[in-house]
Amino acid sequence: MPLFSRAPRRLAADDAAPATDPTGPARDPFSETVVRVVERVGPAVLGVRRGRKRADAFDGAGSGVIISPDGYALTNAHVVRGAERLEATLYDGSVVAADLVGADPDTDLALLRLAATNLAAADLGDSDALKVGELAVAIGNPLGLQATVTAGVVSALRRTLRAEGGRLIEDVIQTDAALNPGNSGGALVDARGRVIGVNTAMIGGAQGICFAVPINTAKRIVPELMRTGRVARGWLGLAAQTQGLSKALVRRLGLATESGVLVISVAPGGPAEQGGLRPGDVILAFDGAPTATVDAVHRLLDAHADGRRAALTVLRDGTLTTVDLDVVERPRAA
């Protein structure tokens, strides 16, 4: 489905000079840019509320951004977690029902379908092309205050952020555009009015340290959420931790890394047990790729959800051995 190429009522994002009112007050270039961005993207930003089916009150709220005119919208997975019913407040104040199409807690992204069509939809940018210092505008509904705008810059790129499930979200954008509770799921936008990220977190007590999931991550997982409602990832069936290795051992064995992944336990009947992995083994490589940390294993498993057979280089009792096993799709949470 050509989700990112639909044209009806899409908010244009081009390089044309900003439209100004010649009879109005003159604005500085920075203000003109922010005003133009808000005019383009603001109509596509919405408020999201979650609640229970049999309760009048809602127990959580956040933001979202419409990405297609027929009602698909992005938000954070933590915004909609546990929701039995969802509703969205549009830019004009109207309220519509929303259905959860799918969620991926490992990237803290979720896809909604609004009970409305012919909507204003934001253009999606290219987060891989960002440079530190670029203008970043955050639009959302902090503390229930609809269509709130803050501006700052891209403070850093390629940060990592720990998701609720324990995995790292890669290539996170750091910005100093102020975020507050309720901004989660809203749009982080560049100077051309293109969404470059989905606002997801802030560091409490800090000044201007906020984070957004890059929009290229969303582009990658949205089609899978539309098809199946989830993102398939590989699973080995083990509990593990990062383990440092002695320099003497690294030199003796000629290892490419000074740490590995220590197997703490294996799930009965899981791929690890069936392949012969044992508690106490240290995984050093996955199909030849070094695995210095548990996060490195997770990254490699994300690309092995199709049941491929993998060769693990393992340190066992001071010697190297190879364990072949079948990677399977991670079981659904109960």
- Give which of 220, 124, 204 is closest to 170, Cα–Cα: 220
Compute the distance between CA of residue 321 and CA of residue 135 in angstroms, rounded to an integer: 51
pLDDT at 203 (0 to 100): 83
Domain that holds residue 303: 234-329
**pLDDT tens for each residue of 278-320:** 999 999 999 999 999 998 998 888 877 777 899 999 999 999 9
Q: What pTM did the predictor assign?
A: 0.82
Percent of the chain with pLDDT over 70: 91
Domain count, the chain: 2
pLDDT at 211 over 50: yes
Question: DSSP per residue over 265-291, as a string?
Answer: EE-TTSHHHHHT--TT-EEEEETTEE-
For β-strands 309-316 and 319-326, DSSP reports them as antiparallel
User: Mapping DSSP to helix (H, G, I), strand (E, B) and coil, where does residue 250 land?
Assistant: helix
- The CATH number that applies at residue 297 is 2.30.42.10
Query: What average pLDDT is seen over the chain?
Result: 89
pLDDT at 334 over 60: no
Q: Which residue has the tokens 């990677």?
A: 327
Strands (E), 42-167: 45-51, 58-66, 72-75, 85-89, 95-104, 109-114, 123-124, 135-140, 148-162
334: in domain: no
What is the token pair recorded at 143? 């503390």
160: in domain: yes
**pLDDT tens for each residue of 161-176:** 988 878 889 899 999 9
User: Mapping DSSP to helix (H, G, I), strand (E, B) and coil, where does residue 228 land?
Assistant: helix
**pLDDT tens for each residue of 65-99:** 999 999 999 999 999 999 999 999 999 999 999 99
Compute the distance between CA of residue 147 and CA of residue 174 in angstroms, rounded to an integer: 21
Label residue 44 by pLDDT band (50, 70, 90): very high
Label residue 22 by pLDDT band (50, 70, 90): low
Query: Which sequence positions are flagged as catalytic?
Result: 78, 108, 184
Residues 6+ positions from 319 with CB-CB distance below 8 Å: none
Instruction: Name the amino acid, one letter, at 70.
Output: D
- The CATH number that applies at residue 63 is 2.40.10.120
Indicate if 247 and 220 belong to the same structural domain.
Answer: no
pLDDT at 277 (0 to 100): 96
As beta bridge partners, residue 124 has 195
Indicate if 223 and 268 belong to the same structural domain.
Answer: no
Indicate if 5 and 46 belong to the same structural domain.
Answer: yes
Indicate if 74 and 223 belong to the same structural domain.
Answer: yes
Phi and psi at residue 178, to the nearest 5°: -60, 130
pLDDT at 25 over 80: no
